[in-house]
Structure 1
Amino acid sequence: MSTGELTREEDVLEWLVQNKSTGDEDDIIEDVTAKTLDTLIQSIDHLVVLFYDNDDEESMQVLAELENIDDDCDKHGIQFVKIDDASAAQEFGIDDIPSLVYFEKAIPNMYDGEF
């Protein structure tokens, strides 16, 4: 997939769905744009989103830990993505970064535990 294709939400969505169904064992949580995130929330029944800041040490520590369970989530039909976009986080009422949100059929559920 070329860099240009990463900006087209349909291509990213197709890749994520295909990746899930092939059982790809990469421990990498894919970064998405706000537009792609909106599409994924509407298209995937079980989606976990990490709202993070690439320049924040705590965010990067949380991301590293979550990448360890990404494959397990895939095995249970839960897609995992991340987004580094403060305005997208604010649209969901998120003030504290990093934050983890589980969307079940587009309904958000915030993780309230400690990272």
Structure 2
Amino acid sequence: MLYDGDLHQHDKILAWLTSQDVFEIKNEIEEVNRKMLDKLLEENEFLTVYFYEEGHPDSAAVLEKLENIDSETDNLDITFVKMADARYARKWGVTKLPAIVYFRKRFPSIFRGDLMAEDEVLEWLRKNRFRQPELNIFMYALMAISVAFILYTAFLLQCFKPTPQPPPQHPKQQ
């Protein structure tokens, strides 16, 4: 795939590099840098990043396994990219490479299982992709208290409403 625009317009080149057309190459996880990853995090709701060490045998073996599930992640509408930047990985809480981080609306989730088990990775991504955000007990309690307060206020306003004064009579009516 070739870029046919002006090479002096950096914003257009970055937009082309991070467009979905470039990331649609089947069975290949695309390499990104920090700037591209930041742009992808802004534009994509679901993003998976494989952080690895350049030239490390474990990283190469895991990458080979992960490229087998790249097309399935595309079907799940998850953009899958790779990055060989350990310092940037630490920013997202990764302490040991290689690692997979799944981003849902810029919120990271680190895979803790076996990276060589591609089916396990795919199932983890599928669960995270279709997981519904849960409300915890605190949120339910807060909502219940709010509704109770509104109902109590409405009750007080309705029941203890002062009786309206009769309108004053016009002097000609007397």
The TM-score, its normalising length taken from structure 2, stands at 0.57
Q: Distance in 1 between matches of 2:26 and 2:106?
A: 25
* Alignment of 1:10 onto 2:5: no
Normalized per residue, the structure richer in strand is 1
Count of paired positions: 107
- Give structure 1 stretches of 5+ with no counterpart: none
Shift of 1:25: 5.6
Q: Which residue identity is paired with 1:94?
A: V
SS of 2:38's equivalent?
A: helix
**Offset, 1:19:** 4.5
Identity percentage of aligned residues: 33
Distance in 1, Cα, partners of 2:98 & 2:46: 20
CA shift for structure 1 position 56: 0.7
Root-mean-square deviation (Å): 1.8
1:1-115 matches, cutoff 5 A: 1=2, 8-14=13-19, 17-19=20-22, 24=24, 26-115=26-115
Equivalent-residue separation in structure 1 for 2:102 and 2:62 (angstroms): 16
Alignment partner of 2:108: what SS?
strand
Write out the 4+ residue segments of structure 1 that deviate beyond 4 Å after TM superposition: none
Amino acid at match of 2:58: E
Structure 2: stretches of 5+ with no match in the other structure: 116-174
Give, in angstroms, the shift of residue 101 of structure 1.
Answer: 0.5
